[in-house]
Structure 1
Amino acid sequence: MAAIPETKIDEVRNAVNIVDYIGQFVSLHKAGQNMFGLCPFQDEKTPSFSVNESKQIFHCFSCGRGGNVFKFVMEYDHLAFPQAVAKVADYAGIELGVDLDANRPVEDPAKVAQKALLKQTQDFYHHILVNAESGSEALAYLHKRGLEDATIEHFNIGFAPVDGTLLRSFVTAHGFDYDLQRKSGMFAENQDGTLHDRFIDRVMFPLTDINGDVIGFSGRMLHKPSNGRTIGKYVNSPETDLFAKREVLFNLGPAKNDFKQSPPILFEGFMDVIAAYQAGVTTGIASMGTSLTEEQVGIIAHQSREMVLCYDGDEPGQHATGRALELIERHSRLKVSVVVLPDGQDPDEFIQSRGKEAFQQQMTQTITPLGFRLHALATGKQLTTDQEKLDYIHDALALVAREPDPVAQSVYLSQVAKLTGVNEADLKTSMPASTPVTPGLPATGDEFGPEPPADEEDPGPGGFGGWSGGSGGNFGSSSFGNGNFGSNGSGHTAPQVMRPHYDRFEKAERLLLVLSWRDPEIATRLHQTDFVFPDAPYQTLFDAWLNFAHENEDGAIAGFLDQVPEDLMATATDLAMMTPPESTDEEVDGLIAQIGEKSIRDRLAALKVEMTQAQQLGDKQTSLTLSQQYIELMRTLKARPSV
């Protein structure tokens, strides 16, 4: 595997602002020193996901995930570290100079073999369509539908011939065995176990995963059966290890590369996507000929923060739009808008009648979900009659009342007033009362949970009495953790979350470790005096920091997180998010003394156990020796200065 040079990794990390990168997928707002938003790794209603721009790190207080921009990509896109670096490098426009394919994660060999068979199948079907006499009628059909040769080539469209034995003969000749053929989904099985081609006399559309690998097919019927048997116009591959219909979106792999420039546009069918592509709209995707699923919405939200719905303009298409909106709007991280095609047209009809440029322009004429619902309410109604006008106004005002933004309410009321001829002020007076809650933000601070339990004994080491050992800002002056929002003057508020409970000794360890990361003199002092953190994870992180700081003069915490073991990443990120106040030498002495007390207390507890065991065994000599050690340690503890 080609290794990415450390200098390139540093270059990529330093070239990208983590707020800008994560902001593509998470809606962030400023609150105190950090940016907050809804966690992209779980479904939540209140924001617990924090990004620190100055440190270039993120951390979720709820699920515990955290790290730098590379770690975010690894978690969000399920990539290995080299792939994550490559993806961020692509975002930054930096050439890595290594073979990126070599850095793809190792895949199940059985799935690799299935993909190889399906790729050969794609090539076989495409060859028959374009070059064989048996595919000429299917090719003529596609040309009649307006598809150009370049478009057919781009989507690798093919044709499954009437002869139901050709594909099996082809893949067998290429070394794919019976078991692999059977699992591929491309063959139907007779009662005696023999296989024959599943798709016959169909135009074939390859279905790909997010990486562009073929995972299945959808075939469109070319001729109706001569025996009158009813079969589906479109037939998809059966469910396999690679293909799950609920999780597949046609054209997502190629289209996702353009989502930075334009949001994904969800069409109803494959031909809509293909016609849109040929008209210059390259971000089209489609579900698998069925209603949109929650899994598909989640996949779209994983690739973009916004999307556009463009279903057919006829009545069934508009009903399908309404159902899709209900599903999409439950996904808090996805902003959706709608394009309505006029005169009940579908995308292909619109392009044929008005041209490519008009279609491109139409795709920018989006309306909000509420705007669409108001439009749908008016469709088919005779608003010149009093009763239908009153019915429309009643239903429309009920929708507008759910809009939390007063400015948006005014815009929609103006539209209703213009459509019905009723004065806007009268409409506003008649609007039903509503108490909407903005999605993603709690109605009260209490929704973030109760205050973390207080330490009964701990007045705080030295001058750090106001520091509670949590994350999210300078705790010397923050109200973080009090069950309320802390205003930052911008109208946004920092969310409060349940913090873990640390006793006063562990708080001192955590604080001293963070101070050693920030101040090289403190780190050097601890190292030279052979100081040891009693809790092994903190000692491991301290040792890792010493190694990192020795090789990296800038000592950037974001770079350090690349070196942290996976099992300590959550702890390291939680600590890295802390911003304790400046420390004095005396305060550091107090922390060291307090941590030293923990070591003594831990040893006293261990001695108690050992003495009990010795007494149970009747070992008087060992019991006496342990008792003397216990007494000496108690004297040492009592003689220590108060901290």
Structure 2
Amino acid sequence: MRMAMIPEATVDQILKTVNIADYIGQVVQLHKAGQNLFGLCPFHEEKTPSFSVSESKQIFHCFSCGRGGNVYKFVMDLENVSFPEAVAKVAAFANIPLDVQVTQTVQDAPEVTQQKTILNDVKDLYHHILVNTKTGEAALAYLTERGLSQETIATFELGYAPADNKLVKAFLDNRKIDYQVQRETGLFVENQDGELFDRFVDRIMFPLKNEVGAVVGFSGRVLQKADQQAKYLNSPETTVFNKRDLLFNLDLAKSQFKLADGALLFEGFMDVISAYQAGIKNGIASMGTSLTNEQLQLLAKRTHQLTVCYDGDAPGLAAANRAVDILGEQNRLASGVVVLPNGQDPDEFIKASGAEAFKAQVQKRLTPTAFKLFFLKQGQDLTNDEAKLTYIKASLATVAKLRQPVERAVYLQQIAKDTGINEQTLAQQLPRPQAVVQTSVHMATPQVKFDRYQRAQRELLAFVLHDELVQARLVNNNFVFPDARYQDLFNAWLQYLAANHQPDIATFSDTLEPDQANLLADVSMQNLAPMSDEVIDDLLALLGTVPLRQQLQSLKTQLAQAQQLNDQEAMRSLSQQYFGLLRQLKA
């Protein structure tokens, strides 16, 4: 439902300016099928596209999970934001000024808010120590020597945790923070007596922020690594932090995904920061582990392209190969790989070759298959027959997974160039692909099964929404939909039109509660037969029998009860009524 913060005229202007397919197309790969566009639903896991977008109606609907509505509803459901926040996001997409301050309205639980407040205050403490105190000079000098500017350090709010392992404890004690609350922050370790000591000691501190920029944890890097000491130390899992569902820098990078053709995945925080300073601002990093499903879901809500840019050395290429395998198991994100020369990591490449060279290198994105072939060649002496045969077998197995003949031809040509074996011979050796059932993009079968009376009501309501003559006929005949949900939606439509609104489905959707908006999208996106007076007559005739059928069902129930009681008089009376109604129905 609308809130009064933003003028209705502005809301309607934005809605009419933005094509819903353009907005949704940022995160869902849409394909034309008939009159509508289809893709994989971003709200649940699926392999067959059931998510549909109508450009003519400017609404979306998922035939599996039932979500639907206009572009504002899409943003609200996808990002769990309020209506004004959704309008602001769509306005920003269209570069339309709002001239209204929109604040976040979705509130955390009190204990979560308290944890985030504490972590944010500690982040400020660490940052102050780094940039403003003598204690932080060595850490600041290290970052400066790594090439980071003061502006970059400020942007990422980097900090320093000094060698004093009671500093943060004293800081929070001074603020009267309860002992148990302190324990739950993940900022401390404790001894057998329950005494708390700072977890992060003599480390450069990287604040870990969620997708909206709230600090939820930290990662600390040692200045000088000692034996058996981890180079990076992360916060433990807490109420607000789980490394499986967090991507470093997503809060800053997400606004760049559209401009930069997707997200760029780095191995480490410093790679992200160095690239950001070089002008590559769509970089993110996982939390020192392989990509997780939770992280992929986070990305899939915001982009449909992920490019891997790991270190160019052997471990980095192996990690990139694992990432490509993980990405190949899902179908929400298209993927590619940037390979850096001479075994360099992104930070080293930027220092050696400069920002512009790095930007150019990022554009040299390999397809997953091209990268696989490149990776398989690493360390292989292709002048050696055994190594050559090993490479050919592995590379042909990779190419055989491709469905398109043109794709296979491109990579067979590449293998032929690498090995000196002609393409025809290679093609004959391709492993037989597994049988794949070819499916076109289509609507998934709805999970809800409708009986003939439900289908009739849905079809009739859809005709009402698109034809004022059908609407007038129902109003003049005092027609009432047997199902209260459809009648309520019909009433809402009449009230919407009575307020002198134009008959626009997307704008009407804004006036509805979420469940009604979903129902509206569901009804509106049906594939209907051409409308005619005969079709409407048949629908009305069928629905006109519903009251009789309801009475018949009631009489059957009463008859069963009378039989159980052996009430002969009631059985005779009910039977007469029952057969009388049957004759009316058949007539």
The question of a shared fold, defined as TM-score above 0.5 by the shorter chain, is answered with: yes
Pick which of 201-210 and 557-566 moved more: 557-566
CA contact (8 A) 2:130 2:137 kept: yes
Q: How does 1:119-138 map to 2 (within 5 A)?
A: 119-138=120-139
Pick which of 590-599 and 278-287 moved more: 590-599
Counterpart of 2:67, as a letter, is R
Specify whether residues 224 and 59 from structure 1 end up closer, same or farther in structure 2 by C-alpha distance, changes over 3 A only: closer
Alpha-carbon displacement from aligned partner over 1:475-504 (angstroms, at most 9, x marks no partner): xxxxxxxxxxxxxxxxx5535625754333
Residue in 2 aligned with 1:231? Answer: 229
Residue in 1 aligned with 2:410? Answer: 411
Specify whether residues 93 and 316 from structure 1 end up closer, same or farther in structure 2 by C-alpha distance, changes over 3 A only: same
Counterpart of 1:601, as a letter, is R
Q: Unpaired runs of 5+ in structure 1?
A: 438-442, 446-491
SS in 1 for 2:240: coil
Specify whether residues 384 and 53 from structure 1 end up closer, same or farther in structure 2 by C-alpha distance, changes over 3 A only: same
SS in 1 for 2:140: helix
Counterpart of 2:237, as a letter, is E
CA contact (8 A) 1:2 1:99 kept: no
Residue in 2 aligned with 1:276? Answer: 275
Q: How many residues are treated as equivalent by the alignment? A: 584
Indicate yes or no: 2:502 matched with 1:554. Answer: yes
Q: How does 1:454-473 map to 2 (within 5 A)?
A: none
Q: How does 1:61-80 map to 2 (within 5 A)?
A: 61-80=63-82
Cα distance, 1:569 vs. partner? 4.1
Q: 2:240 aligns with which of 235, 239, 242?
A: 242
Residue in 1 aligned with 2:553? Answer: 605
Normalised by the size of structure 2, how large is the TM-score? 0.92
Pick which of 506-515 and 246-255 moved more: 506-515
Residue in 2 aligned with 1:13? Answer: 15
Residue in 2 aligned with 1:266? Answer: 265
Alpha-carbon displacement from aligned partner over 1:609-639 (angstroms, at most 9, x marks no partner): 3466578779999888877765765564455
Distance in 2 (CA, whole Å) between partners of 1:164 and 1:499 is 57
Specify whether residues 627 and 108 from structure 1 end up closer, same or farther in structure 2 by C-alpha distance, changes over 3 A only: same
Counterpart of 1:538, as a letter, is Y
Q: How does 1:223-622 map to 2 (within 5 A)?
A: 223-224=224-225, 230-262=228-260, 263-435=262-434, 437=436, 443-444=437-438, 494-495=442-443, 497=445, 500-585=448-533, 587-610=535-558
Q: Unpaired runs of 5+ in structure 2?
A: none
Counterpart of 2:304, as a letter, is R
SS in 2 for 1:184: coil
Distance in 1 (CA, whole Å) between partners of 2:112 and 2:447 is 43
Counterpart of 1:546, as a letter, is L
CA contact (8 A) 2:42 2:300 kept: no
SS in 1 for 2:301: helix
Distance in 2 (CA, whole Å) between partners of 1:503 and 1:418 is 61
Cα distance, 1:122 vs. partner? 0.8
Cα distance, 1:333 vs. partner? 1.2
Distance in 1 (CA, whole Å) between partners of 2:459 and 2:504 is 18
Cα distance, 1:213 vs. partner? 0.7
Cα distance, 1:389 vs. partner? 2.7
Cα distance, 1:560 vs. partner? 2.2
Cα distance, 1:207 vs. partner? 0.4
CA contact (8 A) 1:266 1:311 kept: yes
Counterpart of 1:434, as a letter, is P
Cα distance, 1:307 vs. partner? 1.0
Cα distance, 1:552 vs. partner? 4.7
What do you get for the CA RMSD once the two structures are aligned? 2.5
Cα distance, 1:579 vs. partner? 4.7
Distance in 1 (CA, whole Å) between partners of 2:310 and 2:441 is 38
Distance in 1 (CA, whole Å) between partners of 2:452 and 2:388 is 69
Specify whether residues 590 and 377 from structure 1 end up closer, same or farther in structure 2 by C-alpha distance, changes over 3 A only: closer
Specify whether residues 2 and 191 from structure 1 end up closer, same or farther in structure 2 by C-alpha distance, changes over 3 A only: farther
Distance in 2 (CA, whole Å) between partners of 1:618 and 1:568 is 46
Residue in 1 aligned with 2:177? Answer: 176
Cα distance, 1:43 vs. partner? 2.2
Residue in 2 aligned with 1:33? Answer: 35
CA contact (8 A) 1:66 1:72 kept: yes
Distance in 2 (CA, whole Å) between partners of 1:108 and 1:548 is 37
Indicate yes or no: 2:167 matched with 1:166. Answer: yes
SS in 2 for 1:207: strand
Counterpart of 1:314, as a letter, is D
Distance in 2 (CA, whole Å) between partners of 1:70 and 1:435 is 42
Residue in 2 aligned with 1:481? Answer: none
Specify whether residues 436 and 407 from structure 1 end up closer, same or farther in structure 2 by C-alpha distance, changes over 3 A only: farther
SS in 1 for 2:233: strand
Alpha-carbon displacement from aligned partner over 1:59-110 (angstroms, at most 9, x marks no partner): 2222222222222222222333332222222212222333221x43122111
Specify whether residues 203 and 31 from structure 1 end up closer, same or farther in structure 2 by C-alpha distance, changes over 3 A only: same
Distance in 2 (CA, whole Å) between partners of 1:395 and 1:173 is 63
Counterpart of 1:33, as a letter, is Q
CA contact (8 A) 1:120 1:171 kept: no
Residue in 2 aligned with 1:108? Answer: 109
Residue in 2 aligned with 1:484? Answer: none
Normalised by the size of structure 1, how large is the TM-score? 0.85
